[in-house]
Amino acid sequence: MSDLLAIEAVHGGYGTADILNGADLRISGPEIVVIIGPNGAGKSTLMKAVFGLVRVRVGNIRFNGEDITNMRADLVAERGLAYVPQERNVFPSLTVDENLDMGAYLKRDDGKRKTAIYEIFPQLRLRRAQRAGSLSGGERQMLAMGRALMIEPKLLLLDEPTAALAPRLVDETLEKIVEIRSLGIGVLMVEQNAKAALRRADRGVVMVMGRVRLEDEAHNLLARTDIADLFLGA
């Protein structure tokens, strides 16, 4: 079976020192895969590497069988990958509507997709004429995901989508992610709320010092006490 995304033995980083040290990861289809691991493990760096925002020195990244290693980010997006960075994930001076328009930059929208996004995130519709910079943390995260979905991606990369959210919004956001998967979109997400995320995920990977140390079905990871002690919190 060919993978949707295949990251193979990737080494790379920002300057001379590699942050990624042989990272391997595969996603086969519309599944939810959660990346957990300590701070500084290179989880965010791995996502940036997929989008050509961090240089891959050795190794390769394929999407739908095509080599996308070090490809320009806009061309990666064109191939059906969407990415929501952890911070700075909306255009603050653009309105909510215009942020969604930016998601439709590649594939023009006749209004249907935007309507669909507003159905998934009804709060956004109320703020459609408001500048994204004035939104709350939760609304911003929804807008960022909405913008990414406007691309009609096959795979969505989310970097800590619940990090800036009030506790009551964490579950709501994770449920939205399950809803997104049910649309046939794969989701690769980094999550600090590891337990809550793994409960809704298909698989989980543990990343330490720039490589994937462990990979298993989500329910297996949840059941392992050693993992729980190290990464899942009390």
Partner 1 sequence: MTDFVQLIVFGIVSGAIFALGGIGISVIFGILRFAHLAHGDMMTLGAYLALAAISALQLPVLAALPLAMIGTAATAIAIDWLFYRRFRRARPVILLISSFGMALVLRSAIQLIWGPGNHVYESGISIPYVLFDIRIKPDHVMIVGCTVAIIVAFHLFLTYTRLGKAMRAMSDDPDLARVSGVDTERVVVWTWAIGGALAAAGGVFLALDTQLNPLLCWNILLPMFAAAIVGGIGRPYGAIAGGLLIGIVEELSTAVIEPAYKPAVAFIIMIVVLIWRPTGIVRSQT
Ligand X SMILES: Nc1ncnc2c1ncn2[C@@H]1O[C@H](COP(=O)(O)OP(=O)(O)O)[C@@H](O)[C@H]1O
Cα–Cα distance measured from residue 194 to residue 227, given in angstroms and rounded to the nearest whole number: 10
Q: Residue 123 Cβ, how far from partner 1 at the closest point, in Å?
A: 20
Q: How far is the CB of 83 from partner 1 (least distance, A)?
A: 5
Say how far apart CA 154 and CA 80 lie, in whole Å: 5
Cα torsion 154, 212, 38, 185 to 10°: value is: 10
Rule CB under 6 A: choose which of 42, 80, 138, 146 binds ligand X: 42
On whether the CB atoms of residues 151 and 117 are closer than 8 A, the answer is no
Residue 165 phi, psi dihedral angles, 5° rounding: -100, 150
Residue reference for tokens 């500084």: 40
Of Mg ion, partner 1, ligand X, none, which one sits near residue 14, judging by CB under 5 to 8 A according to partner kind? ligand X
The reply to whether 41 sits near partner 1 by the rule CB under 8 A is no
Show Cβ contacts of residue 234 under 8 Å, excluding neighbours closer than 6 positions.
none
Binding track over 85-124 against partner 1, x by CB under 8 A: x--xxxxxxx---x--xxx-xx-x----------------
Contact pattern from residue 14 through residue 53 relative to Mg ion, giving x for each residue in contact according to CB under 5 A and a dash for the rest: ------------------------------x---------
Provide the token pair at 157: 């990369």
The helix/strand/coil state of 28 is coil
Closest distance of CB 50 from ligand X, Å: 12
Map residues 44-63 to x or -, x wherever contact with ligand X holds by CB under 6 A: xx------------------
Nearby residues of 126 by Cβ (< 8 Å), 6 or more positions away? none
Per the CB < 8 A criterion, the answer to whether 53 and 33 are in contact is no
Task: Pick the piece of the chain touching ligand X (CB under 6 A) from 41-49, 68-76, 100-108, 196-204.
Answer: 41-49
209 counts as binding ligand X under rule CB under 6 A:
no
Question: Among the candidate windows 14-22, 38-46, 71-79, 170-178, which touches partner 1 by CB under 8 A?
Answer: 71-79
**DSSP alpha helices (H): ranges in the chain?**
43-50, 73-78, 96-103, 112-120, 122-126, 137-149, 167-181, 194-200, 218-223, 225-227
Q: Please, what is the minimum distance in Å from the beta carbon of residue 105 to partner 1?
A: 5
Minimum CB distance to partner 1 smaller for 101 or for 215? 101
* Residues within the interface to ligand X (CB under 6 A): 14, 19, 37, 39-45
* Residues within the interface to Mg ion (CB under 5 A): 44
